[in-house]
Amino acid sequence: MTMPQRSVAPTDKSLLSFMASVFTVFLITGAALPALPLHIHDHLGFGPFMIGLVSGAQFAASLISRLWSGTVADRHGPKRAVTAGLVMAALAGLFCLLSLLAVGNPALSVEILLAGRALLGGAESFIMTGAQSWCLALAGPGNAGKIIAWIGTAMFLALAAGAPLGSYLYATWGFASIGLATSIGAVATLALVAPIPAVKPAPQGEKAIARVLKAVWLPGLGMAFAGIGYGTMTAFAVLLFVQRGWQPAWLSFTAFAVALMVARVFFGPLPDRLGGARTAMIFVVIHSVGMALIWSSPFAWLGFVGAALAGFGYALVYPGFGMEAIARAPAESRGLAMGVYTAFIDLSLGILAPLLGLVANAAGLGSIFLINALLALCAVPIALRLRFHQQPEPERVSS
């Protein structure tokens, strides 16, 4: 079997550059979190269903492009995947600006926004898959859980910083500043990544996708149940806190993201020490408790505590199940494995985000946080199965 070769030695500079790519795409995503629902509601006149639909478009586009981005990362190298993602992010910002030209026609304006969010979803897919594949190639499988946690930390640090940044930009210069920041951030990061030499990809067999799907579907299913909490926080938390008069409303998601970042900084090695399934099982329960607390809280401070607790719990669910996915997949197809694994989250978010918007119309915004808490607990028996059933030896893809 021909093993993958590296054209460059692992360096901190290349690792940090690809993490910077993740940071940038989620900083600009985070900046839109408090602004997008308010813009759609206040300026375009649409309700929770349309907000959920526009938010869900990003996740649906991520889902559609996961296999594509994983294949690009494995066959052409992670640099190609990240570069393509940054170009898409720059275009997404331009679509955001274009939607403002049609603000007099709300239906057309929101259609353009849908296209822009779809482009941003594709960008997120290519950048995350490429960066994870790159970092795993540098660090090796023995540090898979920690590497996935590091990438996630860059992601949620950006989201935590993006929420107040987006609120400031939106309040000061309007929605146009969100689109402009998206394009500028993507182009600046593209300039940072461009000089880094590419990693030589590994040969891929014809049946790589089938083998990866067989290996990854169970951890992916567990993450699908838990992952909807992230979509709910991004699409509905700000609106819920505004509705209840809990200010500053943007702090709801920032508390979620900061607590997640703290958990990953201090507890990031846990999946490699305790095992991915056990770690995921423990933290998904913490996440569920936090979501239920947001639903039931009568006080603002308790709602913010619930948001932080939900973020702390969510922190190691993704790397926990992700480590199980990586361990079961062929070593030559790690990029594809992470793409398929993350696609399960996109699937749940793309389907459930609009449905939860309909539920919010009928039963109120608070009810969907309780639904999230119950759905997350469905991941517990899956984690138990992964933990107590012997891990199969991953098949190797012949060259």
Is the predicted pLDDT of residue 199 greater than 70, yes or no? no
138: confidence class by pLDDT, cuts 50, 70, 90: low
Residue 157, pLDDT above cutoff 80: no
Please give the pLDDT value at position 341: 83
| Ranges 46-55, 160-169, 300-309, 348-357: which has the least confidence | 348-357
Q: What is the pLDDT of residue 254?
A: 81
> Is residue 398 situated within a structural domain?
no
Highest mean pLDDT among 69-73, 138-142, 279-283, 354-358: 279-283
Cα 52 from Cα 61, distance rounded (Å): 14
Report field, pTM of the whole predicted structure over 0.85: no
Tell me what the pLDDT averaged over the chain comes to.
79
Using alpha carbons, select from 91, 116, 121 the residue that is nearest to residue 39: 116
Q: Is residue 3 part of a domain?
A: no
Percent of the chain past pLDDT 90, that is, above it, reads 14
**Residue 238 falls inside a structural domain:** yes
Per the domain annotation, does 225 fall within a domain? yes
Residue 24 clears pLDDT 70, i.e. is over it: yes
Report yes or no on 5 lying in a domain: no
Residue 336 lies in a domain: yes
Residue 283 sits at φ, ψ, to 5 deg, of: -80, -25
Where in the sequence is the domain holding 355, given as residue range(s)? 12-195+206-388
What's the whole-number mean pLDDT along residues 302-316?
91
- Supply the pLDDT for residue 29: 75
User: Can you tell me the mean pLDDT for 51-64?
Assistant: 77
How many angstroms separate the CA atoms of 90 and 184, rounded? Answer: 7
Model confidence at 299: pLDDT above 50: yes
**Res 307: pLDDT:** 92
pLDDT tens sequence across 93-124: 999 899 999 888 888 988 999 999 889 888 88
How far is residue 234 from each of residues 327, 385, 386, measured CA to CA in Å? 30, 30, 29
Q: How many domains does the chain have?
A: 1
Q: Has residue 399 been placed in a domain? A: no
CA dist., res. 180 & res. 134, Å (int) = 29
Q: Is residue 268's pLDDT more than 80?
A: no
Residue 224 in domain: yes
> Residue holding tokens 């308790």?
302
Close Cβ partners of 255 (under 8 Å, ≥ 6 residues apart): 304, 307, 308, 311
CATH of the domain at 49: 1.20.1250.20
pLDDT value for 154? 76
User: Residue 200 has what pLDDT?
Assistant: 67
Among all chains, which residue has been given the structure tokens 């926004």? 113
